[in-house]
Amino acid sequence: MQSKTLKINKKGDLVYITFPKLQAVNTVRHTFSTRLGGVSDGQYSSMNLSFNNGDNRQDVIKNYEIICSAVGINTENLVLTHQTHTNNVIAVDENHRGTGFSKPSFQDVDGLITDCRGVALVIQFADCTPLIFCDPVKRVIASSHSGWRGTVKQIGAVTIEKMVNDFGCKAENIIAAIGPSIGNCCYEVDEPVFDSFSKMELDMSAAFQKCRKDHWKLDLKMANKIILINSGIKEENIDVADICTCCNSHEFHSHRATAGKRGNLAAIIEIK
């Protein structure tokens, strides 16, 4: 696994990713997991961060302890949600610590925002595109889960709008990371998916490449970058992953590469 845009960190068997632009913000901690360095077995091997796919719960808890310890996050601060490809984004605070980890999860929520210290936002993925945001001026963070459905619904734009309207952020101050996801090298979609993007108000042609009759290669990272820039984020404030989770399924959980027999990765961000 190699990257020109990410920092790949290793601690023993654990391998995790950080983004240069977010790493330069000394008021936040963040990480994108790989599937390496955990304790899960079989199809979940080894760093699985989902409680909902059949893995042993205690193994998942241990995995969170391993990845969080590496970046200085207390697992008691985690906030998880049951993601269902919506564009529902909610604000959370100190009272929500442990949601989805030690107490019931949010339902039908795919984006989280907070301005509270010590509240660690978690988004899970296994080919879908994880987005994380930080406004270092207002000290606000956010995370969103953006598969193709969430991208059509512009969850990235919804997240930015809520940061601006509810927390007083300015889009031009926001730093964004578009995390590892399936690349257009491996992601072929059919006409209904293409038509869904064609109906958007934005020009998404740069995210598609015709590959055969009624089929296109879709670049979800590019599609989300277009959305973020249209929402006012400066291009120079966006880090974009250059790794395909499907091509690198030995290092990342990939839904497509394993026909759904897999664990989940996670993106985590917290204000120090």
The pLDDT of residue 151 is: 98
Give the C-alpha distances (Å, rounded to integers) separating 34 from 137, 181, 267.
Answer: 30, 11, 10
pLDDT, tens only, 97-137? 999 999 999 999 999 999 999 999 999 999 999 999 999 99
Q: What is the mean pLDDT of the chain?
A: 97
DSSP assignments along 66-93, one per residue: HHHHHHT--GGGEE-EE--S---EEE--
Averaged pLDDT, 177-181:
98
Give dist(CA 170, CA 62) in Å, integer.
38
| Of the candidates 46, 23, 22, the residue with the CA atom closest to the CA atom of residue 34 | 46
pLDDT, tens only, 1-54? 899 999 999 999 999 999 999 999 999 999 999 999 999 999 999 999 999 999
Statement: residue 213 has pLDDT above 90: yes
> Is residue 46 reached through a cis peptide bond, with omega within 30 degrees of 0 on the bond before it?
yes
Averaged pLDDT, 248-260:
97
Give the C-alpha distances (Å, rounded to integers) separating 87 from 2, 149, 153, 159, 177.
Answer: 32, 9, 6, 8, 18
The pLDDT of residue 1 is: 86
CATH of segment(s) 7-271: 3.60.140.10
The pLDDT of residue 88 is: 98
Give dist(CA 34, CA 15) in Å, integer.
6
Output the furthest CA–CA distance in the chain (Å, rounded).
52
AA letter at 205: S
Give dist(CA 144, CA 110) in Å, integer.
6
Averaged pLDDT, 152-174:
98
Task: Work out the burial of residue 45: count CB atoms within 10 Å of its CB; fewer than 13 is exposed, 13-18 middle, 19 or more buried.
Answer: middle
Q: Are 111 and 129 in contact (CB under 8 A)?
A: no
The pLDDT of residue 260 is: 95
Structure tokens at 260: 């759904």
Question: What residues does each domain of the chain span?
Answer: 7-271
Rg (CA), the chain: 17
Say whether 271 sits in a helix, a strand or coil: strand
The pLDDT of residue 99 is: 98
The pLDDT of residue 3 is: 95
The pLDDT of residue 117 is: 98
Question: Is the pTM of the predicted complex or chain greater than 0.95?
Answer: yes
Give dist(CA 69, CA 218) in Å, integer.
35
